[in-house]
Chains A and B, each alone.
Chain A
Amino acid sequence: MPAAPAPPRVPCTFAGMVEGARLTVPLLPGTLVFAAAVGATSAEKGLTLGQAVFMSLSVYAGASQLLGLQLWPQVFSLSAIAAIVVVTMAVNLRFLLMGASLQPWLSRGPAGPVHVGLAALTDANFVVASRYHAQGGQDAGVFIGAGLFMWVIWTLATIPGHALGHLLTDPKRFAIDMVMPLTFTAMSVGLFRLRRDRLAWPVAAGVAVVTAQLADGYWFIVTGALAGSLAAGVLRERA
């Protein structure tokens, strides 16, 4: 039996990176407000401007920054830090699934740039790149450019938030708490495939809702996504 032909290599171009940055533009207003809210919360919790910027630059994951800051202690100890780190990882565990879902595509691109893109992996460049790829796009630069562009925007937008402080600390004002779900909702319209998803999506939603009733935090993203993905694997159209 002849070996299966190697899958085609994936390009990674500068034009792709620019396209990726362009595709994130609709997400900018929500991202700016979200980053400003994180900056404001940092100020409220007593972080200096330098510490707030350092956090946005190095962590670059909004929901986990907000939750980590909720646990920010007045007096530090190793156990307080351990709690913050564990919560951060739990909230960001969804990145593990996002990286897994992008791997069949990105592993056919150049390893160096792809890992730069993975370092910048968040919800925004994940949804932008997933939809681009689902619609037939191949250029890995789109994922990388979207991530790097958002990284800069995110870090810079922390600064006015830290300065403005109290105007922004209530996430419900300006619907900041709904930025992520509404972004995902808009993006999901381009991802839905009737044959594949008509069973996987209800399974994912059901498991996620049950998990949300049983456990605090963001575990429901992980359990729901895994259940929906496994359901699609089990129920796949057999050739």
Chain B
Amino acid sequence: MSVPEEAWPYIAITGMAAATFLVRFAGYWIMSRVPPTPFVRAALEALPGAIIVSTVVPLAMRGGLAAWIGVAVAAAVMVLVRKDIAALAAGMGAVIAVRSFGLG
């Protein structure tokens, strides 16, 4: 059996999509089968924040000074103004500004 040349990218993309849909549903399905003990409830309640912290801190470290300044500015604006759009704009602006000065 030979696969036509132009079909390969579609096969690769379909494989990427299948893998992604699998992980989208798997966590939900697994949790439907885990009894909601106090331990599980406490762990799940803390999970969104834990995911966020585990994403931001290493990426900021990889991103260097500009990334740290961007994260700090975004967090500070969010605490002060409570507007997502302002926090994101300020954070992105800070990263672009710091990098344009050749830092980070």
Contact = CB atoms under 8 A, between A and B. Distances in A.
Interface of A: 25-27, 29-30, 47, 51, 54-55, 58-61, 64-65, 68, 72, 76, 80-81, 84-86, 88-89, 92-104, 106-107, 115, 118-119, 121, 126-127, 130, 134, 172, 174-175, 177-193, 196-197, 200-201, 204-205, 207-209, 211-212, 220-234, 236, 239
16 contacts: A27-B88, A58-B14, A92-B24, A121-B24, A182-B92, A186-B87, A188-B49, A197-B46, A204-B53, A208-B58, A209-B57, A212-B58, A224-B57, A225-B53, A233-B40, A233-B43
Interface of B: 8-32, 36, 38-63, 66-67, 70-71, 74-75, 77-79, 82-85, 87-89, 91-92, 95-96, 99
A229 B54 CA distance: 11
User: B interface, by DSSP: helix, strand, loop or mixed?
Assistant: helix
A47 to B, nearest CB: 6
A118 B25 contact: yes
A221 B51 contact: yes
A119 B52 CA distance: 21
B55 A221 contact: yes
Nearest to B46: A232
Nearest to B7: A76
Contacts of B89: 29
B4 to A, nearest CB: 11
A140 to B, nearest CB: 12
Contact of B13 (A54, A179, A201): A54
B55 A180 contact: yes
A69 B66 CA distance: 26
A89 B15 CA distance: 10
Contacts of B60: 181
Given A58-B13, A88-B16, A207-B54, A185 B87 contact: yes
Contacts of A225: 47, 50-51, 53-54
A166 B70 CA distance: 25
